């Protein structure tokens, strides 16, 4: 409660916020209390691990992975129908957890393609040895590590002058290349049909949507969007969330982390 209320003072309560947890902890009620507008999702990797531990059934694990990651609701329903036939007990477990809690297609809020709490896991393993230190040394160790990371990342982000961050720039290029294999036809002033033969999706730039839903959920162009943007002469960068830009990357590491001053009596 103490930690999260300090976090709230810094970042506020917004419906753009999403908490990703492994659900083992009791943070759920505290999050709902302090951040009533935020959304809460379950790390799909932890969910998968729980399924393996409890029901160890290879075909249901395979179906779960696909169902959790699909963007399309009809695809989700089809996969879950199969899942129920494979293991009714495991289906009951997922149903009790709540489908929107772990399914990308049903989740309400923006995931930005972050489906796991890997970041927290990495921090945990980084602190594995330091945890045995006395509390003040542990805090100092965390401060020193953050100081180093912020300095290094601020330096590489500042030296970088392309619109998107390195990772997102590469992702956009790969998506664009895959999109060049598709055909695009204008349907109306706003609607564009993109795909191959009968396997097509519809892009609507006025509503900022694509029927595959990847664009709406990741706030990053999908293959259909990149192809339609080509046809309509739209800039792909304008279709990416500002959070993916190198400006935001710089901003994230913009502030220095100072050492704690000596206590004065």
- Cβ–Cβ under 8 Å, residues 78 and 72: no
Strands, E, within the chain: which ranges? 18-21, 39-42, 183-186, 191-196, 199-204, 209-210
Smallest gap from residue 225 Cβ to Zn ion (A): 6
For tokens 């506020």, name the residue. Answer: 12
- Nearer to Zn ion by Cβ, of 152 and 177: the residue is 177
In the complex, which residue's CB is closest to Zn ion? 210
- Residue 247: partners with Cβ closer than 8 Å, 6 or more residues away: none
Smallest gap from residue 215 Cβ to Zn ion (A): 5
- Nearer to Zn ion by Cβ, of 49 and 208: the residue is 208
- Nearer to Zn ion by Cβ, of 87 and 221: the residue is 221
Number of shown-chain residues binding Zn ion (CB under 5 A): 6
Smallest gap from residue 207 Cβ to Zn ion (A): 12
Smallest gap from residue 16 Cβ to Zn ion (A): 21
- Provide the residue count of the chain: 265
Smallest gap from residue 115 Cβ to Zn ion (A): 18
Q: Is 222 in the site for Zn ion (CB under 5 A)?
A: yes
b/e map of 55-83 (b: 16 or more CB within 10 Å)?
bebeebbebbbebbbbbbeebbeebbeeb
State how far the Cα of 18 lies from the Cα of 164, in Å rounded to an integer.
22
- Nearer to Zn ion by Cβ, of 195 and 251: the residue is 195
- Cβ–Cβ under 8 Å, residues 13 and 38: yes
Q: Is 228 in the site for Zn ion (CB under 5 A)?
A: no
Q: Is 224 in the site for Zn ion (CB under 5 A)?
A: yes
Query: Which residue in 30, 9, 10 sits closest to 19, CA to CA?
Result: 30
Quick one: which segment of 25-33, 102-110, 120-128, 217-225 binds Zn ion (CB under 5 A)? 217-225
Smallest gap from residue 52 Cβ to Zn ion (A): 31
Judged by CB under 5 A, the residue of 20, 212, 219, 239 near Zn ion is: 212
Smallest gap from residue 105 Cβ to Zn ion (A): 13
State how far the Cα of 86 lies from the Cα of 82, in Å rounded to an integer.
6
**Given strand 209-210, what is the order of strands in its sheet?**
183-186, 191-196, 199-204, 209-210
Q: Is 105 in the site for Zn ion (CB under 5 A)?
A: no
- Bridge partners for 39 per DSSP: 18
Quick one: which segment of 139-147, 181-189, 213-221, 234-242 binds Zn ion (CB under 5 A)? 213-221
Query: Which residue in 217, 222, 240 sits closest to 71, CA to CA?
Result: 217
Q: Report 152-211 residues binding Zn ion (CB under 5 A).
A: 210
214 backbone dihedrals φ, ψ, rounded to 5°: -65, -40
Q: Is 219 in the site for Zn ion (CB under 5 A)?
A: no
Q: Which residues are near Zn ion by CB under 5 A?
A: 210, 212, 214-215, 222, 224
């Amino acid at each position: 409660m103490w930690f999260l209320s300090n976090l709230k003072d810094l970042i506020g309560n917004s419906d753009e916020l999403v908490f990703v947890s492994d659900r083992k902890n009791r943070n759920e009620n505290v999050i709902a209390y302090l951040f009533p507008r935020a959304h809460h999702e379950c790390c799909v990797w932890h969910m998968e691990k729980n399924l393996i531990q409890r029901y160890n059934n290879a075909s249901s694990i395979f179906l779960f992975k696909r169902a959790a990651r699909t963007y399309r609701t009809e695809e989700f329903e089809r996969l879950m129908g199969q899942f129920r036939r494979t293991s009714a007990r495991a289906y009951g477990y997922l149903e009790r957890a709540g489908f929107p809690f772990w399914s990308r297609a049903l989740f309400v809020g923006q995931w930005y393609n972050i489906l796991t709490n890997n970041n927290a896991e990495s921090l945990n393993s980084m602190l594995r040895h330091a945890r045995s230190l006395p509390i003040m040394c542990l805090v100092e160790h965390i401060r020193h590590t953050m100081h180093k990371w912020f300095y290094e990342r601020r330096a590489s982000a500042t030296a970088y002058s392309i619109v998107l961050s390195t990772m997102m720039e590469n992702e956009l290029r790969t998506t664009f290349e895959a999109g060049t294999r598709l055909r695009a036809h204008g349907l109306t002033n706003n609607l564009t049909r993109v795909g191959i033969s009968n396997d097509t999706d519809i892009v609507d730039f006025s509503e900022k949507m694509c029927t595959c839903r990847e664009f709406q959920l990741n706030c990053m162009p999908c293959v259909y969007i990149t192809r339609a943007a080509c046809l309509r002469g739209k800039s792909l960068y304008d279709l990416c969330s500002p959070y993916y830009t190198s400006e935001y990357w710089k901003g994230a590491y913009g502030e220095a982390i100072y050492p704690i001053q000596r206590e004065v009596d």
